[in-house]
Structure formats: structure tokens, C-alpha cells
A and B are shown apart, each in its own frame.
Chain A
Amino acid sequence: MRMEKIATREAYGKALVKLGEKNQDVVVLDADLSKSTKTEEFAKAFPERFINVGIAEQNMMGTAAGLAASGKIPFVSSFAMFATGRAFEQIRNTVAYPELNVKIAASHAGISVGEDGASHQSVEDISIIRSIPNMTVIVPSDAVETEAAVMAAAEIKGPVYIRMGRMAVPTVNGEDYRFQWGKGVVFREGTDVLLVGTGLMVDVCLRAAEGLQQEGISAGVLNIHTIKPIDGETIIRMAKATGAVVTAEEHSIIGGLGSAVAEVLCESYPVPMKRVGINDAFGESGKPMELLSKFGLDPQSVMAAAKDVIRRKKQL
């Protein structure tokens, strides 16, 4: 099923154009990053509905709120760092509190931003945005899922955060893929360990599962694209089937997918668990793939974590 590599931001740019053709109420805001976030595709197709706010993310969120309050469906783009970091309080107070129909589609999340380094590598955004009431949080795993999520986001009322990356990533979902809000996607069932991934780590989990299989370990793989509201039902079902869980995300282990899964399991079905992610650190400059290895976001690290939780399960 794995085909060409496409960055989720590329898929976003194309999806926006489709959406713009379909829905006249869709408007797009960007803060001087349209070439990077790929909103320039929409800007070319619908210049009158593209609003560049300049380098002013706080005003961008507030403007989007006003547009939404007047019936528009604004898609707001910047890098994840600036969208959720610089404009946190604008999102919290002027978008989420009034439950306005603003879609925050942020690119350049995580360390796979690469050479730009720590100042531009958001490893906290899921944590920040997940804590805000009324927010839905989506982290697509590939181009297929990104397009589906973007189209779906326009259909639901209320604020949505979509987290995307800069780097081209393998396509893990088939053409028949159907996006379901808040519903995890089961790639493999397993009996020894469950690997829960999000974003580009879904592909890493799939490769880890293949590696584990060669060693005689049966790993389930679950893609949690909707971090909030989280699909507790599927997580618990698969945790019961395996008795050991590893989460994998290109994000801090504090507050992201790992924390969300831990919250579900601790309250309902505690099993040995390990979070693979950025270990409470800032990123740095480098080639994306080298950084992913350096920070332990590769199949080897997920496999090691899987063996660790299986060992702990056996000690119970």
C-alpha cells in the first residue's frame, strides 16, 4: 500500500482548492508563510478569498474569529509553533471559548522541520491545543488522510486544529480511505503489543510492527488521527488484546498522544506502557531523517519500547 511520499502540507494546499470550489464560504488566512504552508495554491485559485495578514498571528486568529462570526469558514495557517504558541490566548479566548467555526491548519510541526532548528520546531502544540475546551485536534498520518480531514473539518461546526508537517512522508492509507471523526484506524491487529501512532509516526509504527513480526512478536498498529476527542473504545479494546502499549508521536512525551492514551488506559485499563516521543527537550538543526533518528523517532526505537513493555507485562 505504501506509495509515493508527499508532505501533508502539500495535500493541504490541494485540498483547500477543492474545498474552495465546493464551498464559497471558505476563506483562507495566512501570516506571510503561504509558500511554506501551501495556502498559495488557494491564493492563486481564489485571490479574493485569500487574506494575508502579514507577520501577525494574533490578529490573524482574531480576524478569523470575526469572519466566522459573520458566517465564513476560515482556514488559518501558519507554522504550528506560531499558530499555537504566539496566538495561544487568541485561540483560547476569541476562537475556542465562543466556539467559533475556525479551522487552524498548522504546518511545520515537529522536528522534521529540519534545518531551521528549535525555534521553528513545535513539539508542544498538541499539548497546548488539546487542553483548550471545545477544540478538536487532528494529526493526519499522510496526504490521503490530510485531504479527508480538511474536507471533513469544513463540514463540522466549531474550532478544529489540524497538525501537518513539512517533510514528505510515505502514504499509508489506501485510495478507499474514509475519514471518521474521533475514530482510530486499525492497521493491524496484534496479540503481544499495541503500537499507537499519530502523524508521520504511523508509518514508523507499521515498519516497527513488520520488524517485530520477523522476531516473532505480534504487534497491533492503531492510527489515532483524532487526538481529541480520543477513541478510548478502540484503544481499550486493543490494549485488552495485547496487554502492553507503546505510543509514538513527533511531539513531546508531555501532553501529546502518549499522555492522551495514558489518560485513557490509567482510568480504564492500566497496562504496561511506554511513550516514544521527544523526551522533554527542544529540537535542533539538521536533516529531518537524521533528526528523527537522533531523537529516537524511528522503527528501532519503537521496537525497543515494544520489547520493554512486553518484558514488563511478563513480570506482572
Chain B
Amino acid sequence: MDIQELNLLEEKARQIRKNIIAMLKEAGSGHPGGSLSAADILTVLYFKEMNINPESPRAPERDRFVLSKGHAAPVLYAALAERGFFPREDLLSLRKTGAKLQGHPDMNRVPGVEISTGSLGQGLSAANGMALAGKLDKASYRVYAMIGDGECQEGQIWEAAMFAAHYKLDNLVAFLDHNGLQIDGRITHVMSPEPLDEKWRAFGWHVQIIDGHSFPEIINALAQAREVKGKPSMIIANTVKGKGVSFMEDVAGWHGKAPKPEEAEQALAELDQRGVR
């Protein structure tokens, strides 16, 4: 794999993580854990994989990304701003009255947000609709989605899982951000959705399991998903909640809590000083 490209992705991921911390500190609330766990995947999607143009965010042939785990809005906003969909300065308006950057993504306020999400379990269905529309129109675009592992406790996820396989939506690739934590603790303690790989396979999906913080693995999985015909693709990405900030890593308490100014400072310093990987 091209070392220059990897370095570029590394830098973008670092910037996205720093933006997440800066936004949440400024907002005083929000969801750092699941934003940081998803940062490397979104980096690859927005800076390598997807056919998108910030100048023309509604171009019919664009690839689409649906953040079904909408509470990770900060990572989506950070990626969109970094990719040029709106000015970086806007990031600091997150969650403020009148801001376009709502606590959860609003498609009508933010260029590049494909569907409004936030209530868990619903985004994958919308991604199905987009992928189906692509099939009906014989369009070449691809649809990407990200769901959470806790989100797999929602029944609608499995309705959507059945649907995508039944309608052979091979233009759909979903990531499962498998960070193992939800608000009340470990997913396996709260309500285990495991074994996730077997479940998705049984529902008719092509399933891959990767390290969700390894750029080569994310890139390879996406390449493999392109070769799959007649099935939707599920990429189960094993991740660390809070990845990149030592005191947030694998701590359920950082699901929905903003860092205090001194914590944010430490987090930003850590992200500057060392690589995430």
C-alpha cells in the first residue's frame, strides 16, 4: 500500500479526532467515545473510498454515507468539514442554538449529510432505500452505512438486514463499529448481540471482520466488498471506544460526556504527540 497515502490518511484521522475533541469541549456535551472509535473508518470513506464532491453535495451519481449511529455526529461533521463540505470554523457551533450542526445529524441543515439520524436502528433502512433507488435507476453509485454494535439490539436493524439481502443490495456496504460498549456498560453485559458475524451471515450478508483502526484492513475490506455480487456487505470493525485518547479508551463513561477544558487539552496534546496506532 502506498506509504504516502497512508501518511495522508493518518494526518486526516488525527485532524478529525482533534476536531472531535475541540467541538465537544466547546459544546460542553456530546458523544466522544463512539465518534473516536469510528474516526479511522470515516477517514478512509471520505478521503479514499467515496466518489463525492463537496462543490456538488447533491450530485445524483455521488456515493452516499449514512451514519445510522447518529450520536457519533461529531465524527461525521469533522470528516465533512475536513473534506470541504463546510468551513472548519462551523464545527465550533455544534449543539448551539440556531446552529446547523445539531446534536444529531440533520440532512436539511448540513451539506453532505444524506439522511437525518439519531434515533438508533433507523439509518440502515434509509441506506437500503438509497441502494434500492440506485438499483432501480441502474445508477453506479454505492451506499455506505455505519451502525453501532449496541444498535444491533434494535429490532429494526434485523428487518433492514433481511431486506438488504432479499433485494440483493450489493451496492450497499455497512460498517459495524464494534467497540463493545454502550451507555450502561459492555454490550455483552447489557444485552448481548453476539455472535454478530454469525448473525449477519445468517441474514444473508457477506461478512468480513477487520481491525477498524487499521487503514490497510479497512481499505482491503472495501475493495473486497466491491467484488461481492448479489449480497450486501457487512464489515464488522473491531474498534476501541474513545480510540486515541488514553483516558477515554474502552471506558463506557465516555459514551456521552464532553471533556472538561483541562481534559480536552490533554486529549489534544496526546493526539498531537503520538500516533493513534
Contact = CB atoms under 8 A, between A and B. Distances in A.
A72 B114 CA distance: 15
Contacts of B108: 98-99
Contacts of A61: 125
A90 B123 CA distance: 10
A62 B129 contact: yes
A290 to B, nearest CB: 37
Given A90-B156, A93-B116, A67 B129 contact: yes
Contacts of A70: 64, 129-130, 133-134, 137
Interface string B97-136: 0000000001110000011111101111111111111101
Contacts of A97: 106, 116
B124 to A, nearest CB: 8
Nearest to B133: A70
A56 B162 contact: yes
A69 B126 contact: yes
Nearest to B119: A93
A71 B60 contact: yes
A58 B131 CA distance: 17
Contacts of B133: 66-67, 70-72
Contacts, number: 110
B253 interface: no
B131 to A, nearest CB: 8
**Residue of A58, A69, A93, A97 with most chain B CB atoms under a 10 A cut-off:** A69
Contact of B125 (A48, A72, A94, A98): A94
Given A56-B159, A90-B156, A97-B116, A62 B132 contact: no
A64 B126 CA distance: 7
Contact of B115 (A48, A60, A69): A69
A123 B8 CA distance: 58
A63 interface: yes
B54 interface: no
B159 A66 contact: no
A89 interface: yes
Contacts of B156: 56, 58-59, 62, 90
Contacts of A48: 136
**Residue of A53, A60, A70 with most chain B CB atoms under a 10 A cut-off:** A70
Contacts of B159: 53-54, 56, 58-59
Contacts of B114: 69
A62 B128 contact: yes
B163 interface: yes
B81 interface: no
A34 to B, nearest CB: 16
B119 A66 contact: no
Given A62-B122, A89-B119, A93-B116, A69 B163 contact: no
A120 to B, nearest CB: 20
Interface in A37-68: 48-49, 51, 53-54, 56, 58-68
**Residue of A54, A60, A90, A98 with most chain B CB atoms under a 10 A cut-off:** A98
A64 to B, nearest CB: 6
Nearest to A93: B119
A27 interface: yes
Q: Which 6 A-B pairs have the closest CB atoms?
A: A66-B129, A62-B125, A70-B133, A59-B159, A56-B159, A66-B126
15 contacts: A54-B159, A54-B163, A58-B125, A65-B115, A66-B130, A66-B132, A67-B130, A67-B132, A69-B107, A70-B130, A70-B134, A72-B136, A93-B116, A94-B115, A94-B122
Given A69-B126, A70-B130, A97-B116, 16 more contacts: A27-B136, A51-B167, A54-B163, A54-B166, A59-B162, A62-B124, A62-B128, A65-B115, A65-B129, A66-B66, A66-B125, A66-B126, A69-B107, A94-B125, A98-B108, A98-B115
